[in-house]
Amino acid sequence: MVDQVPKTSRGWILTGGLVAAILLILAKLIYLQVFQYKYYFQMSEENRIRVLPRSAMRGKIVDREGRLLASDRPAYTVSIIPSEVSKIDYLAGELAPLLEMDEKAIVRKVADRRTRKYEPVAIRRDLSFPAVCIIEESSELFPGVVYQLDQTRTYYYGKSLCHLIGYTGEVDEREAKDQQFRTGSIIGRAGVERQYDQSLRGIDGVDYLEVSATGRIIGPLEDRPSKDPLMGDELALTIDMDLQMAADSCFGDTLSGAAIFLDPKTGEILALVSKPTFDPNLFAGFVSRSEYQSLAGDERLPLFDRTIRGTYPPGSTAKILTAGAALEEGLITTETHFGPCRGGMQFGNRFFKCWDKRGHGSLGLLAALEQSCDVYFYQLGLKLGLEKWSKYARACGFDQTTGLDIPGEKIGHAPDEKWYEKTYGKYNWNKSVMLNLGIGQGEFLVTPIELAQFYAGVVNHGVVMKPHVIRYLRTPKGETNYYHAEIARGLPFSEETLEILKEGLYRVVQSGTAVRSRIPEVTMGGKTGTAQNPHGEDHSWFVGYAPALDPQILGCVIVENAGHGSTVAAPFVKAVFVKFFQKKGIIKMPPPPLLPLVSAGNGVNSAAN
């Protein structure tokens, strides 16, 4: 017979089990309400509260005369709150036609933000009002989809200023983590939008809304007042849009190159053009992957800023560097003659040609600059030597950035003996490299902004100013901070040497290679250049300044694959100079075109005799 457990023992076991269960429940409650209180309170708040960021208006950008170049305008932004969406693939399929987006792009944007699932993910900016109305009227079909009146950037001159002003873009997850940005906020991505982003961006605001369990907005949250955004600062540039448009129009839609116009005394950039261009307004709203890939894959490189990143042989524009170094070293005077030019010269087993096959005969330094005789500067380069040439090239700034306040500037290349030995080997090069370097060819490379800054120093008594595009920053309260001109360096040339160089540059325009670009009302100086290009036709250079005795403007233009500097680049500089001096009243404005008169009686056009 099996022993049975006494009733009293069973009672104690049951009681013990109940007590243990109660203790477990109490322990769980204590754990949830004490130790996990913050976690579950946050979850409750996030389910109850909808946080809607309010982007601050970026500060407007104006030119030196106050003309509006870029500003924000009202626009609708559609966002998705990941925590309120259970079937993102289905939702993306419903939204894609309405937002004119690819489904995968919507899914990808939401997936990138899963770590912040309670924050709205901006999916499409600058959405049309009819599309917003559909989302409002059919909200039950789009769970987790919200919209708000936001703003987007507008660039009023579009392509004409794309590389200078740049464009804006959204902060991604990595940037938000590394730089404490809010994911989805707008920051400057290129140009001055990027350089002065912190001042232009302002401070974002936020709205706290109370929502029901189904996501219906109940109203503003009483215990968390909204924070209004603070607008960014106004940025005034040194750019003159009249000159900018004049320089831009010279290239048309087919030519590639760069143009820089500046005040040599202050370093103020008056026009900055890189061609070809793109429309920065594409980046202000929604840019599809195909649109971006089309731009990035364009063989003409419209996204590439040639003014600060393009490196080219300077061609004959570098001859004043060679001349200045030789004068400063006491190797020549203005009366120094070398062997006559007969269309070229033999050196070793190679014949080095002059641009003029007929030859220039025997010339002194000033005449050699005036006629841009290659043979004269072949011989001068040999006399100067690589060590001295590279020392002066680097002292003139050709191995460093100019300091221009646009991000992404690249450095040119002024080779020296160490570079040749490292690149070709100690005995695999010889002094013949100076024939090319002496005329601005070979391994010598410059950016257009470097060359412009160097020439600005030559015509400014050897004082090299730091180029800049900022004129002032003005806060929303009206406090204005002006930029003050800065000296970058001094050129390694005496005043006597500089006067000789300027005399040569003056002759180039008055009776030399740039004679066809003279302006009757204004004296000019300058230097043409034709740089050999291994990938196609020669590049066309011209650097000019005016007035010759008191320069107020300097222009540096390169036109890729265009031929001689005298026939292509020089007329570009002349056209912008004419506009500049027309504005100053020195050159008369052309009369407006005659329009036909309309007869009030019969509506037939008639012209005055």
3-state secondary structure of 580: helix
Backbone angles phi, psi at 136, to 5 degrees: -65, -45
| Cα 150 versus chain centre, distance | 25
Closest CA to 95 of 65, 56, 138: 138
Closest CA to 206 of 318, 120, 321: 120
C-beta pairs of 374-377 under 8 Å, 24+ apart in sequence? 374/316, 374/341, 374/344, 374/439, 375/338, 375/339, 375/340, 375/341, 375/342, 375/344, 375/345, 376/338, 376/341, 377/319, 377/322, 377/323, 377/438, 377/439
DSSP state of 340: P
Side chain identity, residue 10: R
Six token digits for residue 192: 């001055």
Q: Which residues, including other chains, have CB under 8 Å from residue 252's CB and lie 6 or more apart?
A: none
DSSP state of 191: H
Backbone angles phi, psi at 470, to 5 degrees: -85, 135
Separation CA 2–CA 314 (nearest Å): 111
Separation CA 347–CA 235 (nearest Å): 56
Residue 506, exposed/middle/buried by CB under 10 A (0-12, 13-18, 19+)? buried
Dihedral sign of CA atoms 495, 497, 503, 504 in order: negative
Beta bridge partners of 481: 473
Closest CA to 116 of 202, 196, 177, 205: 177
CA angle 514, 516, 522 (to 5 degrees): 85
CA angle 277, 161, 252 (to 5 degrees): 50
The answer to whether 163 touches 258, Cβ cutoff 8 Å, is: no
55, 274, 316, 390: which one is catalytic? Answer: 316
Closest CA to 444 of 456, 453, 452, 435: 435
Separation CA 152–CA 169 (nearest Å): 10
For the chain, the first-to-last Cα distance in angstroms comes to: 142
Q: Decide if 316 is catalytic.
A: yes
Backbone angles phi, psi at 170, to 5 degrees: -80, 145
Separation CA 192–CA 543 (nearest Å): 25
DSSP state of 364: -
Query: Would you name the residues annotated as active-site residues?
Result: 316
